[in-house]
Amino acid sequence: MRYQSTRGGAANLSFTEAVMTGLAPDGGLLVPADIPDVSAKLDAWSSLHYCGVANAVMSLFIDDIAPDALTDLIARSYASFDHPEVTPVFTSGELHVLELFHGPTLAFKDVALQFLGNTFDYLLKAQGAHLNILGATSGDTGSAAIAGVRGRDNVDIFVMFPDGRTSPLQERQMTTVPDANVHALAIEGSFDDCQSILKAIFRELDFKAEYSLGAVNSVNWARVLAQVVYYFVGYFRVGHDGPIDVCVPTGNFGNIFAAYVARRMGLPLRRLVLATNANDILARFFRSGRYSRGDVHLSLSPSMDIQVSSNFERYLFYNLGCDPGKVRSVMETFEATGDAQLNFNTRVYDEAFAAGTADDAATLGAIGRTWAEHQYLLDPHTAVGVAVAEDYRAQAGDNVPMLCVATAHPAKFPDCIADVLPGVPATHPTLQALESMPTRKTVLPADVDAVKSVIRDARR
């Protein structure tokens, strides 16, 4: 399998080159040259354990890591999860929830970042090289990335997060890690500021090369690939013979883009129901064809408080006929003006997608209802998805099963849970252990040079 940039400036890269490159030199994202059709293999895969499905899916996109080595990487990546099924499905009546929070930091990002961390370690040891990872997080990516590479001699990781705009527990998960190779950078701004700094630094090719920069954000294809796997697993665990719908709460579009890839591979996903909070740039696009940036609104689901979705460009590449020129034109217009119109006079941009929004009141309502009806506790991000899924099913009026994606353990958001369910504890031993640990972070202005200076000073 070879990889190319969505903007046409890089092509014919191997999987290893794509992983180590992260963001393409032309500012685009790397995508596989082909997406294989596996519809004829689904029956054979349906009885496999999680690692078996992961091996079957990933090996189609990875041909430059020996099969035995890939099997070992996958096994080590998911040995740290606290459930034997890795990503189990909770079912109660018509409620199906794909639990992605059984990894070391209790968030869906662990599924991809445990694999990416082990892959980086394997490749760097083989090359005798050192990597400086630069990431930006709106909440869970940072702690999951840190957990994937902490303590490794051949990696330093620099994670930018918006100071004061992640949950207190999310910040503690990043700032209580004592390993010398971990650098938590609190940026005085929004997540979009963090993401803009990241992209600006990666576009400085001389600096990127001199300091061996790599990416763990979902701009890295390996993260998307690892996420594709759990949609296959979720479909098999629902146990339905025909198509199902999936509802994905998303801000950065990576999680639902992985579902889109699985659908293109032949997995019977009828609708990809995209759920956003008040930061609804993606929902507005799929309703109108207009991609238009607005102000960031703070919400009870902070990891989704995003206006610029970094993985959206990958979707555009496939939607625009794999034409890099069209993608480049759209993205340059959006980057210059904050607005791009792709389709006029339409109510639905892409029939594969449905889209909805849930504000804070709807989020709290979904948490309360789901507990009352199913004795199942949702975190606020998952609750956004469940609220949108309920609305969609009411409008669809059919019996197609809906699989809702649970992106974080509810214990990561105890204040939100307490607001609607004051008598219900939302705790987890992993998080309780953080309360007495010292923290460390570096507060920086939202400035490219300030972040570059920290990377220079940490060189070892």
Model pLDDT, residue 166: 83
Residue 109 appears among annotated catalytic residues: yes
Q: Which residues of the chain have pLDDT under 70?
A: 344-348, 460
- The secondary structure of residue 14, as a DSSP letter, is -
The CA dihedral of 252, 262, 354, 335, to the nearest 10 degrees, is 30
Are the beta carbons of 159 and 455 closer than 8 angstroms?
no
Q: Where are the beta strands (DSSP E) in 6-82?
A: 30-32
Do residues 333 and 342 lie in contact, with contact meaning Cβ atoms separated by under 8 Å? Answer: no
User: Residues 384, 354: contact at Cβ < 8 Å?
Assistant: no
CATH class, domain 89-106+222-428, is alpha beta
Distance CA 25, CA 147 (A): 27
Q: What's the pLDDT score for residue 344? A: 57
Question: One-letter amino acid identity for 426?
Answer: A
The sign of the dihedral angle between the CA atoms of 108, 109, 110, 115 is: positive
Q: Which residue has the tokens 């459930």?
A: 83
Of 41, 109, 326, 441, catalytic: 109
Name beta bridge partners: 341: 290
Query: For position 11, what pLDDT does the model report?
Result: 94
**What does the alpha-carbon distance between residue 27 and residue 5 come to, in Å, rounded to a whole number?**
8
Residue 141 confidence (pLDDT): 82
Per the CB < 8 A criterion, the answer to whether 400 and 270 are in contact is: yes
pLDDT at 345: 54
Give dist(CA 307, CA 126) in Å, integer: 39
pLDDT of residue 420: 96
pLDDT at 348: 66
3-state class (DSSP) for residue 162: strand
Are 419 and 395 contacting, i.e. CB atoms less than 8 angstroms apart?
no
* pLDDT value of residue 303: 82
- Tell me, what's the pLDDT at 346? 56
In 3-state terms, what secondary structure has residue 9? coil
